Structure 1
């Protein structure tokens, strides 16, 4: 397999909010409160900001590739001090180098549109991602941008039959399949953790989320006949060995919880 499962974590773009809404002089927490209040007024009560006003603070991936010594790797791009531009450029550089199948949960509805806007803001270069056949004919028939192509598989979208009213939360689907689901924090706590300077905690949380997505993906591959149950079991073993040897408590805890659920 050549697969890159990804997930992003975001916070409000405070500097952008100050420029757009004339909030100069406010502290970071007060700027966030003002942005959320303005959004509630605009949307009739919803606080969730529009995609272009999210700032990317973490991108975590599971990369399954035959050239990797362990076969699979789980990590967050860059380091805790990386700028948003560096994180996003790392992501697109990986596509440039390996052209993997992208896998996400709600990537079409959230992660990728956010990355589009933030790449534009940060002057990120990403020709392979935007390829639609002009430079590589294979991308005319299968690219990252077309919703119904397989070079990006949005599992939430696919499993819901592309019907928004059938969408399900990753945490619940993962838990139904015996995966650990949410561990440590949830998305509603990311902003407070970021304001407190806990970027490492956010990266750890993002990694467990992307592991849940990968676990669902492996089961979906069996469901669609792309993997046999025995092959899936081997993929789970490869991942479990990697997590157990990582020396990272949150990854080891994920492996133990997953193994315990299935008795692997």
Structure 2
């Protein structure tokens, strides 16, 4: 089987770029952040920054190959954004995986595009639409309706925004632990407190949820039969159960508890 890379990113507002773009050189970081939030609320009713003003602070992934499944956060805790991005795109070049996300087409990938542009990141394999590898003309990461990248939210909604659902909602519907009390709204607070590891841990739980939804999707579309579906779930269960990471163990215990109530 070809490799499958399920990934998710966590971001914080890029205050330095906002200051440069909007001419807020005289504002402190705190005042710049407040001004950015106010500007967005006036424009859209939400204080969520524009995609290019999201600084990537964590990229977490599940990599499924024919022989193994691996969960990790890319790079090291003290790596800067450019290093995280280059490692991510280098991995795509190395494994040529199927990319899987939840709302990746609407958020994660546009953010990565802008931030890679900012840092001058080499991402040739990702952007190849047949210029370097002719097969990529019909199977590339950029075209919305090709499955080199599967945005599960977009696909399940039939490409209709009004049918979109949140990752946490679908996770809970399927008997998965979901966010486990965390939310993306707390990422900035964790970042300001210097808790990058906590952000990475939270992001890893999101990709575990997404991976398990992807397995159910593969069962539904006939790419996994029931035996293969059970095997891949059991494979992940072993990784979580035997891990020394407390957040993986907590996820496993919550998952098992939810399964027991459904049986």
Same-fold call, TM cutoff 0.5: yes
| Residue 52 in structure 1 maps to residue 49 in structure 2 | no
Match of 1:7 in 2: 8
TM-score by length of 1: 0.95
SS of 1:57 mapped into structure 2: strand
TM-score by length of 2: 0.96
1:180 corresponds, among 172, 177, 182, to: 177
After TM superposition, the runs of 4+ consecutive aligned structure 1 residues lying more than 6 A away are none
* 1:24-76 alpha-carbon deviations (Å, 9 max, x no partner): 24333322111111112222x22111100110000000001135xxx111111
**CA pair 198-184 structure 1, distance change in 2 beyond 3 A:** farther
Q: Distance in 2 between matches of 1:23 and 1:76?
A: 33
Match of 2:17 in 1: 16
- Size of the aligned set, in residue pairs, is 260
| Residue 211 in structure 1 maps to residue 219 in structure 2 | no
Q: Which runs of 5+ in 1 are unaligned?
A: none
Pairwise CA distance, 1:185: 1.6
What does 1:195-234 align with in structure 2 at a 5 Å threshold?
Answer: 195-234=192-231
2:236 corresponds, among 214, 239, 257, to: 239
2:157 corresponds, among 152, 156, 160, to: 160
Match of 1:66 in 2: 66
* 1:100-159 alpha-carbon deviations (Å, 9 max, x no partner): 000000000000000000000011100000001111111111100000001000000000
Match of 1:82 in 2: 79
Match of 1:41 in 2: 42
After superposition, the CA RMSD in angstroms is 1.3
Q: Which runs of 5+ in 2 are unaligned?
A: none
Q: Distance in 2 between matches of 1:246 and 1:204?
A: 13
